[in-house]
Amino acid sequence: MKRWLWIVWAAVCLTQLAVPAWMIHRRNLTLREGEIYRFRTRPVDPYDAFRGRYVALDFEVAVFSNQAPGSVYQRGQRLYAVLAVDTQGFARIDGLQTTRPHGLPHLPVRVRSHGDPITRLELPFDRYYLEESIAPEAERLYQSRNMQPSSDTHAVVRVRDGFPVLADLVVDGSSVHDLIKK
């Protein structure tokens, strides 16, 4: 085998392996060192076409009504949501910025629709994957509990330098995995 072919093969393999490896490393780092935020969920459209192997999620903070006067956003525009924690310990969005906020906890989001006074946002986590035999049951459980006003249903998200990773889905105070096992 020619020497240059060895080099090409090695370079291709390293590049191809580097992409999933980097994805894993970055998420593991965030899961280890990221700050924990709890995002209160809300019911999703029951006709979500991709249901079956994951629980489709929607969040209360995705409906943002506290925007600065005169702000106009385009559909699909990338923004940065500044994060804070409310008195009950759940994540809330304090403001939207067009540039990355330095020194403040934040998330990259996209504008789904913009109006006055409400801007609907697309958060960078919208599904929780589960094994296919338990995913429909988890979805049913999540939907039924989510409809109850007193329910404590939320997603646990770790955020590090504006990079979020969904760590767990909590339904009625228990991880969805534990709840299914029961």
Partner 1 sequence: MSNDPIAWLHRELPGWVRDGILDRGQADRLSRRYPEPEGPRSHRLLSVLFAIIGSLLIGGGLLLLIAYNWPSWPRSLRAVLSIVPLAVVQAGGLWVLARRNDRAAWCESLGIAWLLSVGGSIALVAQTYHMPGSFDTFLITWMILSIPILYLMPGVSVFVLYLAGAVGWGFSQRVEHAGTAGAWLLMAAALPLAFRWHREAHSGAYAVISRWALIMASGIAAFGFIDFGHGGVWYNTTILLAASLLHLGWLYESGASSAWRRPALVMGSLFVVPMAFALSVDEVLRNVLRQGWPRDPETDLKVYAVLVSFLYTTSLVLTVRKGWQPGMIWGLLPVILAACWLLGWMEAGIGVLFLIVNAFVLAAGVVTLREGIRTSSLTRVNGGMMVIGAWILMRFFDGEYPILLRAVVFIVLGLLFLAVNLRMARTRKAART
For binding to partner 1 (CB under 8 A), which residues are involved? 1, 5, 8-9, 12-13, 15-17, 19-21, 23-24, 27-28, 50, 53-54, 76, 123-132, 134, 165-166, 177
Q: Give the shortest CB-70-to-partner 1 separation in angstroms.
A: 25
By beta-carbon proximity to partner 1, the closer residue of 67 and 81 is: 81
Q: Give the shortest CB-133-to-partner 1 separation in angstroms.
A: 9
Q: Give the shortest CB-20-to-partner 1 separation in angstroms.
A: 4
By beta-carbon proximity to partner 1, the closer residue of 102 and 182 is: 182
Query: Taking the C-alpha atoms of 159, 27, 142 and 172 in order, what is their torsion angle to the nearest 10 degrees?
Result: -60
Mind giving me the DSSP string for 49-76? TTTTSEEE-EEGGGEE--PPTT----TT
Distance CA 28, CA 151 (A): 30
By beta-carbon proximity to partner 1, the closer residue of 110 and 145 is: 110
Q: Give the shortest CB-36-to-partner 1 separation in angstroms.
A: 15
Distances (CA, A) of 63 to 60, 71, 147: 6, 15, 17
Distance CA 79, CA 96 (A): 6
